[in-house]
Structure 1
Amino acid sequence: MNKLAKKEKFDVATGEMRNWQGRKEWFFNRDDTDHYEAYYEGPYKRQEVWQKKTLEGLIKSDPRVNTLLEFGCGTTRFTRWWHEIGIEATGGDISPFMLAQGVQLFDGDLVLADSHHMPFKDHSFDALAFVTTFEYYKNPVQVIREAVRVGKYGIIFGMMNRNTPKLIRRRVQQAFGKNNYYVTANFYTPASLKALIAEALPDRDYTIQWNATGLPKWFPKQQWKVPYGDFFGFHVKLNDVE
């Protein structure tokens, strides 16, 4: 039995991961994971379109990125899309319920693993991606360091923004047990994520670009470089590698 298996115990009957991060997570609950794809196909469809436009504009600014590992890939919603824009993507996730759907929807490679201990050699991919999953890591500094070990040229983040009026709705839903997705989430802003990157990578040379979206449908702009909106894309481009 490897170290990861010893540390983490999964109860197949209840769908509960015990001891991983010391808390229950929605992505080990089939009542939540079984509806994930339907959520994107329904009320979240318009937001998804703009999220993808935002992430594509950032990742395409670095022509060195041809391969990518998306951790927290879930049902492979975005993993499939990376291929659509010409990037060869692999997915990783720690939820067997999410990956069980992913293998039915995605023809590429998938791995069941913990983002804090990625089972890949140094520089196995050109970049790492986290799309609305980084918010759930209790040790984000360790995850960032793992990401730049495995991803040679940097990291692309798609983040649920703390700077949004919907934060109040999220927390009210959470308080009344109406939305399990946000119970353990730690929401970031571009500024707080930038500070975290600086803490994790004090000796690296990198450039940061970001863009926000998730604005109301009636708003005259749907992307802007102002740190407000439901979602922001954040690209850390490493400059100290050949």
Structure 2
Amino acid sequence: MKGQEWYQADDVAEEYDDKRFSQGGQLIDRREKRAVLEAIEPLEDRRVLEIACGTGRFTTMIADRGADVVGLDISAAMLQQGREKARAAGVSDRLEFLRGDAGRLPFPDDHFDTVIAMRFFHLADDPEAFLSEMRRVSSDQIVFDTFNRYSARSVYNWALPMGSRLYSKSEVSVLLAKTDLTLVDVEDDFIVPYGLYRSIPNVLASSIRSVDRVIGRSTVGDHLASVSYWDTRVR
């Protein structure tokens, strides 16, 4: 997986949330959380695994809504941030953080109802293998996001620290077919790429986001969106 050493650095973990989800990045955080909740609720007593859970943005939220959650990440520093976040939210009893490799999940077949992976597949060197492993441990649902090849993100992708894997809709469709997953829904969003939102104040980001939504609802919106949220079911 791309960027393993970078993500495991202590200083990256300490600054991760502030750099990505402060200022205009708060808009991204809210949208991603809404996409996840719309796909996986209701959550009461469901068993959920999050791949590449990082600092626990989603795991803490999901546990707070009644699920039993496991967050898995390769970074010990990120996991420590997640544990502190879970304690502060009072959900440590419903949430376990494990260090592990997403390519070799330490769980039996069909162990979870739902498996999610946000901000993960753009770093995957072998997306089919990772998705197959997620499919193995899920009895019902897999939710993930991708950055889109034909979008504004492709313009600056080369400048990112480890780059990103960008996907076309047809490529993801092939991945789903190969891993025996059925598409339930896909939502496309953010004509303006994430990087711009993160770098500007909330007031300005909110104005740009309003225009972004209008374009996104137009006939060209699906073709220009930089992000897609995929909700799939196990066949």
TM-score normalised to structure 1 length = 0.74
Segments of structure 1 that go 5 or more residues without pairing to the other structure are 1-20, 175-179
Distance 1:137 1:100 in 2: 23
Q: Does 1:59 align with 2:57?
A: no
Aligned with 1:235 (options 211, 223, 231): 231
Distance 1:227 1:86 in 2: 36
In structure 1, the residue corresponding to 2:112 is in which secondary structure?
coil
In structure 2, the residue corresponding to 1:168 is in which secondary structure?
helix
Q: 2:212 maps to what in 1?
A: 219
In structure 2, the residue corresponding to 1:121 is in which secondary structure?
coil
Q: 1:234 to 1:222 in 2, by over 3 A?
A: farther
Instruction: Give aligned-pair identity as a percent.
Output: 20
Segments of structure 2 that go 5 or more residues without pairing to the other structure are 87-91, 193-208
8 Å contact kept, 2:181–2:232? no
Distance 1:222 1:27 in 2: 34
Distance 2:45 2:191 in 1: 28
Return the offset for 1:64. Answer: 10
Q: 2:198 maps to what in 1?
A: none
Q: Does 1:141 align with 2:128?
A: yes
Q: 1:207 to 1:100 in 2, by over 3 A?
A: same
Q: 1:76 to 1:205 in 2, by over 3 A?
A: closer
Return the offset for 1:91. Answer: 0.3
Q: 1:192 maps to what in 2?
A: 171
Q: 1:221 to 1:49 in 2, by over 3 A?
A: farther
Instruction: Give a deviation string over 1:31-85, Cα, whole Å, max 9, x none.
Output: 433211112133311122122222322334x889922100100001111122344
Return the offset for 1:22. Answer: 8.7
Within-5 A mapping of 1:170-209: 170-171=157-158, 173-174=159-160, 180=161, 183-199=162-178, 201=179, 204=180, 206-209=182-185
Structure with greater contact order relative to length (CA < 8 Å, sep ≥ 6):
2
Distance 1:184 1:167 in 2: 10
Within-5 A mapping of 1:91-110: 91-106=71-86, 107=92, 108-110=95-97
8 Å contact kept, 2:44–2:67? no
Q: 2:186 maps to what in 1?
A: 210
Select between 121-130 and 211-220 the one with higher mean Cα deviation.
Answer: 211-220
Return the offset for 1:115. Answer: 0.6
8 Å contact kept, 1:95–1:112? yes
8 Å contact kept, 1:51–1:213? no
Larger proportion of helix: 2
Aligned with 1:150 (options 137, 141, 149): 137
Instruction: Give a deviation string over 1:184-212, Cα, whole Å, max 9, x none.
Output: 4312233322222223x2xx362342001
Distance 1:86 1:130 in 2: 19
Q: 1:128 to 1:222 in 2, by over 3 A?
A: farther
Q: Does 1:79 align with 2:55?
A: no
How many aligned residue pairs are there? 207
Q: 2:203 maps to what in 1?
A: none
Q: Does 1:50 align with 2:37?
A: no
TM-score normalised to structure 2 length = 0.76
